[in-house]
Structure 1
Amino acid sequence: MKTGCLNVNFIKTIPGFVLTAIHRTMNGKLLLLGLLYCVQGIPYGIQSSLLPIYFRTSGLSFTKISLTKILYFPWILKVIWAPLVDQFSTKRQWLLLTMCGMALSCLITGTLSPEYNFSALAVSLLLMNLMASVQDIAVDGVAVQILQNDEVGYGNTVQVVGYKLGSVFAGGGLLTIMNLVGWGLMFALLSIVYVIVILYTAVASELKTLSKIQSNHQKSMKHCLNPWRILQEILRVPDTFWTIGFVLVYKLGEQGAISMFPLFLLDHGMSAGEIGLWHGMVAMVFSIIGSSLGGFLTTRYKVCSLMKIFFILRLLSLAFQTFLINVFNGNSWLMKGCAILSINIQHFFGGTITTLAFSIMMQCTKMAHVRIQATHYSFLATLEVLGKLSFSVLVGWIVDWVGFFLSFIVFQLLSVVAILHVYKAPKTLS
C-alpha cells in the first residue's frame, strides 16, 4: 500500500482506477465476488428499505419497526458456525448450498401475505438471513484467500458496491415497482436471480481451483471446534482488540440517521414513492460512488488517515441533517431539496467509510493463520453487525422518547466517539 498525504491530484487518476477495476473484474475474480456479494445484499435491502416503509404506511410505530431488525439475529451468531465453514467441506459447496436456501426462502416469502401471515413471514425472512450469513462467511473466506495485497482495495470496493447494488435492487427498486408487479411475483423474480448466480458459481474456475487446494489442506488439518480455543487463537492475532472496538462504534451515529431520517420525511409530507426513489435508489448511487472512491484511496494512502478525514466530514453532514430536522417544512421545495441533498451526502460519506472499514478488517485478518482466516474475518464482521444492529433496535425507541432533534444530537455524539477511537489506531493498520 502506498502512503502519503492527500492532494487534489488524486481526482485526475480516478478514471484510471475505474478502468483498472473494470479490467480486473472482467478477468473473473472480482466479477465472481461482485455477484456473490450482490445476492448477499438482497435480504438486507428487503428489511432495511422495503419493509420499514411498507410497515409505516400500515401504521406501525417506530418502536415496532425497529424491533423487526431482530430478524438480523443470525448475522450475530455467524461466528458460531464460521469454524464449520473453515474446517469442513469447501467454500464452493457452502456457497451453492446457502444460495439454494435463499432461493427457496424467496419462493416461500412470495406466498405469504405481510398483513395476514406476519409470523410466518418473519420465519421465512429469518431463514433468508441465516442462509445469507453463512454465505457471507464463505464469500469472505474466498476473498481473503484469492485477493493479492495489491487487490485488497479493488476487492473491498467490489464487496461494498456489490452488496449495496443487491440492497438497492431489493429495497428501493422493488419498493418502486411493488404496486405494479405484486408481492408474489416480486419474490419469484428474486428467486430467479439467485438461480442465475448459483449456475455461475457452479462453473466458476476460480472456485474449482480453490476447492482443490482446500480439500488437500483439510486432509492434513486437525479439526478444532472448541469455541474457547478458537476464540483464544482469534484474539492472539495482532491488532484484533483495537479492530474489535473500531467495528463496534464506527457506524453507530450514521446508522441512526440513515434509519430515522427517511421516516422523519415520511411523517412530514414526503410520499413513500419519493423516499423509495431518493433514499432507496439515488442515494445508493452516491453510496456506491463513495465506496468506489474509498477503494481507490486505499491503494494510495494510509487507511486510518483517510478514516479520520471522512469521519469528520460525516460529522458535519450529521450536523446539517440535525439543522434540517429543526427547521424542516414539508411544503417548501427548498427544504425538500436540502433534505435530499443531505441524504446523498450522508450516503456518499457512509459508502467511503464502509470500504475503508472493511479494508482495515481485511488487513487485520491477513495477519491470521490461513486455517482461521474466514473465522477471524467472520468474528470481526459479526461484531460489526452487532454494533449496528444493537443500536438499530433501540433507535426507534429513542426517537419515540425524546423526538427527532435530540436523537440526532445523540447520533452526533456517537460519531465523535468513533473519531476518538480511530486516532488511537495501531501503526500496523494505519
Structure 2
Amino acid sequence: MAVNDLADERAAAAARSVTAVTVVSVFGILYAAQGFTASLAQFVLPSILRDKGVPLAQIGLTYLLFSPLVLKPFWAPAMDRWSMGLATRRLAVIHLCQVSLVLIFLCAALLNPENLSQAFNPAWMAAALLIVMVVIASQDISTDALAIEAVPTNRRGVAGSTQVAGTYLGYVLGSSAWLPLYVAFGWSVAMGVLAFILAVLTAVVKVTSGSLSAPAFRVENHPAPSLLGALRRPQLVTGIGFLVLYQLGGRLAASLLGPFMIDAGLSLATVSWVVGIGTVIAGICGAVIGPIFIRGLGVSRFLCLFALLHAACVVGLWGVAIGKPSCAVEAIIVLVILESALFALAYVGLFVKMMGWCAAHQAGTDFSLLQSVDSALAIGAGLGASLVAGVIGYSLVFLLSAFLLVAAAIVAFAAGRPAAATPHHIS
C-alpha cells in the first residue's frame, strides 16, 4: 500500500510540475512540426511537381499518401503496449520520429535534382512520401497519448489550444515560407533549412520536456491495448457518435466555402487571401482564446455555446445564399472568417473532450481512432456536400449544416448537466 501511495504522490507531483509554458513549448512545437511537414505534401510538393511538368493524374495520387493518418489506429495498439504508463517511452518515440524526419530531409537535400520530374519517378516519390507520412502519423500517436497521460486535467484546455494553433501555424509556415525559399535558393538549400529547423525544434522539445518524464499513471491489471477493446467501450463509442454529429455540421459548411465564394462573384485573388490569410489568422486567434472560455464554462457548455454561434454564422451564409443582398461580398468575407474562428474554437473543446474519452491504458489507440473518424468524416463531408450542393444548391446544405450544429448543441448541453457538480472533470 505504501508503494502505491508513493507512486500516486510522484504522479501528482509530476502533474503539478507541468505548467502552461511546458505544454505550449513541448506540444506546440510538436504539432507545428506535424503541420509544417504535412503542408509540404499537401500544398507545396504538388505545386513543384506541376511546375516541373509532372502530369496532374500523378500529382493527384500524392493525396493518397495521407492514408497513414487515417490508418494509424491499426498500429497504435502496438505503440501503446510498448509505451504503457511511461512518459519517457512516449518521448523516446517522439524524439526518434523527429530525428528520422531530420535525416529524411537531409537525404532529400543531398539529392539536388536538376530536373525534378525526371529525378523523381512516381514510385520513388510515393515511397519517400509514404515513409514521411508514416513517421508523422507515429509521432502524432505518441504526442496525443503523451498529452492525455501527462498533462493534468486543468491544463487540457491549453493542450487543445496548442494542438489547433500549432497545427495551423505549421501549415502556414510550410505553405508560405518554404516555397519562396525553394524559388530563391533551390531544392538543396530549402530542404537543408527545413532539416535544420526540425533539428532545432527537436532539441528544444528534448530540453523542455523534462517535467513530462515521469510515470503518467500506475499500470494495474489493464487489458492489452487493442482497437477491438476501444470499440467495446461504451463511452468511446458514444463519444464517436457525438464527434460525428458535431463535426458533420461544421464540416459540411466549411467544405463549400471556397466554391461558394467563387460562385458569389469573389475573385480568385480575394478568395486566396481570405482562405490563406484571413481564415488561418482567425483560426489561430480562436484556438488561443479557447481555454479562457473552457475554464469559465466547462467543456460541455463551451461546446454548446459555440455550436449555437457556429449555427448562427452558417444561417448567415444561408441568408446570403438565398437573398443575394447588395453587401453580399462583404458579408461573405466576414462570415467565412468568423466561421473559421468558430470552427477552431470548437475543435479546442472537442480535443479536450476526446482526451477525456480515452482510456488511460490505451490513450494512443483511442485518440487515433477518434482522429481517424474525424479525418474520414472530413473527406466524406467534402465529397457529399459538393455533390448535394450541385443538385439542390448551397442554401439547403447550409441549412442542413445549421440544423446539425443545433442538434449537437442540444446534445452537448444535455451531456454537461450531470457533470455540473464536478467541473474539474470537464475543464
Report TM bin, short chain: 0.7 to 0.9
Superposition pairs of residues 375-390 of structure 1, within 5 angstroms: 375-390=365-380
* Equivalent in the alignment of 1:191: 195
Give the corresponding residue for 1:312: 308
2:206 alignment counterpart: 202
CA contact (8 A) 2:290 2:349 kept: yes
Q: Distance in 2 between matches of 1:260 and 1:62?
A: 23
Structure 1 residues 251 and 102 mapped into 2: Cα distance closer, same or farther (>3 Å)? farther
Q: 1:261 aligns with which of 250, 257, 262?
A: 257
- List aligned pairs for 1:235-314, cutoff 5 A: 235-236=232-233, 239-262=235-258, 265=261, 270-271=267-268, 275-314=271-310
Query: Pick from 170, 173, 178: which aligns with 1:169?
Result: 173
The whole-number CA distance in structure 2 between the counterparts of 1:125 and 1:263 is 29
Q: State the shift of 1:126 in Å.
A: 3.1
Is 1:106–1:128's contact at 8 Å kept on the other side of the alignment? no
Change (3 A) 1:221 1:280: farther
Deviates more, 1:179-188 or 1:79-88: 179-188
Structure 1 residue 65 displacement after superposition: 8.8
Structure 1 counterpart of 2:340, one-letter code: H
Cα deviations across residues 211-232 of structure 1 (Å, max 9, x unaligned)?
A: xx37x978x888836653x335
Q: Any unmatched runs of 5+ in structure 2?
A: 1-17, 84-88, 420-424
Are 1:98 and 2:117 counterparts? Answer: no
Range with greater deviation from structure 2 (348-357 or 69-78) = 69-78
Q: State how far apart, in whole Å, the 2-side matches of 1:68 and 1:318 are.
A: 32
1:130 maps to 134
Report the counterpart of residue 6 of structure 1 in structure 2: none
In the other structure, the counterpart of 2:347 is: 354
Matched, 1:372 2:362: yes
Verify the 8 A CA contact 1:172 1:280 in the aligned structure 2: no
Aligned to 2:77: 83
Q: Go from structure 1 to structure 2 and tell me whether the alpha carbon gap of 1:374 and 1:142 turns closer, same or farther (over 3 Å shift).
A: same
1:354 Cα deviation from its structure 2 partner: 0.7
In the alignment, the residues of structure 1 paired with residue 138 and residue 226 of structure 2 have an alpha-carbon distance, to the nearest angstrom, of 19
Residue 106 of structure 1: CA displacement?
4.1
Distance verdict in 2 for CA 1:278–1:191, change over 3 Å: farther
Aligned to 1:70: 64
Distance 2:388 2:397 in 1: 13
Residue 142 of structure 1 is matched in structure 2 by: 146
Alpha-carbon contact 1:86-1:372 (below 8 Å) kept: yes
When residues 91 and 277 of structure 1 are mapped into structure 2, their CA distance, relative to the original with a 3 A threshold, is: same
Q: What is the match of residue 342 of structure 1?
A: 335
- Shift, 1:345, TM fit: 0.9
Q: Is the 8 A contact 1:247 1:387 kept in 2?
A: no
- Comparing 154-163 with 407-416, which one deviates more in the overlay? 407-416
Residues 24-64 of structure 1 show CA distances to partners (whole Å, capped at 9, x for unaligned) of 444x3431111111112224434555568889999999999
CA contact (8 A) 2:282 2:341 kept: yes
- 1:403 maps to amino acid: G
**Secondary structure at 1:224 match in 2:** coil
Residue 270 of structure 1, CA deviation: 3.4
For residue 35 of structure 1, the aligned residue among 22, 29, 36 is 29
Please tell me whether the aligned partners of residues 108 and 191 of structure 2 are also in contact (alpha carbons under 8 angstroms): yes
Measure the CA separation in 2 of the matches of 1:227 and 1:249: 22
Displacement of 1:209: 2.5
| Displacement after TM superposition at 1:287 (Å) | 0.8
Could you tell me which residue of structure 2 aligns to residue 224 of structure 1? 224
CA contact (8 A) 1:109 1:121 kept: no
Describe the shift of the 1:320–1:191 C-alpha distance in structure 2 as closer, same or farther (beyond 3 A).
farther
Looking at structure 2, the residues matched to 257 and 65 of structure 1 have their Cα atoms a distance apart, in angstroms, of 27
Match of 2:160 among 153, 156, 167: 156
Secondary structure of 2:297's counterpart equals coil
| 1:420 counterpart letter in structure 2 | A
Residues 410, 102 of structure 1: alpha-carbon distance in 2 compared, 3 angstrom cutoff:
farther
Query: 3-state DSSP class of the match of 2:411?
Result: coil
- CA gap 1:271/1:407 in 2 versus in 1, 3 angstroms: closer
The CA RMSD over aligned residues, in Å, is 4.2
1:332-378 C-alpha deviation (Å, 9 max, x unpaired): 9x76544432331121111111101111112222xx3x322232222
- Please list the CA deviations of residues 176-221 of structure 1 after superposition, one character each: whole Å capped at 9, or x if unmatched: 76654556644443322211122223334526723xx37x978x88
Whether contact under 8 Å (1:98, 1:135) holds in the other structure is yes
**How does the TM-score come out when normalised to structure 1?**
0.74
Structure 2 residue identity aligned to 1:304: S
- C-alpha change, 1:226 and 1:306, in structure 2 (3 Å) is closer
- 8 Å Cα contact 1:109-1:124 kept in structure 2: no
Q: Does structure 1 conserve the Cα–Cα contact (< 8 Å) formed by 2:23 and 2:158? A: no
What is the alpha-carbon distance in structure 2 between the residues aligned to residue 313 and residue 65 of structure 1? Answer: 38
Match status 1:406 vs 2:402? no
Secondary structure, aligned partner of 1:348 = helix
Deviation at 1:279, TM superposition (A): 1.9
Cα distance in 1, alignment partners of residues 94 and 59 from structure 2: 31
